[in-house]
Amino acid sequence: MANAGTYYVYILASGRHGTLYIGVTNNIRVRLEQHRTGRGSEFVKKYRLHALSTLRRSDHRKRRSLAKDNSRTGDATGKSGWSKNIISTGPHLL
């Protein structure tokens, strides 16, 4: 799944209404494997974020980074409207 110029924004969750991690990568398979094995992020490892709740693809890293930044702004819990709705529907295990 690694294509030059193709990027993915993904959200990992600890569970329904739980902690979120939002990331950007150009190789989603490798990145999720890194997270699953505890090598991807100290934050993911610490909060045990092993549920993939959403994945969005784009050919433009700049646009995906903007979406990532926008998703980090939201209510007091730090969840934006769209990410809160995604978690409410139930995340999928990696």
**Which CATH number is 86's domain given?**
3.40.1440
- Does residue 1 belong to any structural domain of this protein? no
Q: What string of DSSP letters covers 16-45?
A: TT--EEEEEES-HHHHHHHHHTT-S-HHHH
Instruction: Using the predicted structure, report yes or no on whether residue 31 has a pLDDT greater than 70.
Output: yes
- Does residue 41 belong to any structural domain of this protein? yes
- Does residue 43 belong to any structural domain of this protein? yes
Beta-bridged to residue 92, according to DSSP, are 52
Can you read off the two tokens belonging to residue 20?
């979120």
- Does residue 64 belong to any structural domain of this protein? yes
Our count of domains for the chain comes to 1
Residue 16's pLDDT is 76
CB 94 within 8 A of CB 30: no
| Cβ burial, residue 69 (10 Å; 0-12/13-18/19+) | exposed
Average pLDDT over residues 7-22: 88
Name the average pLDDT for the chain: 74
Please write the tens of the pLDDT for every residue from 48-93. 998 998 898 887 655 555 455 555 544 444 444 544 454 444 445 4
Residue 74's pLDDT is 47
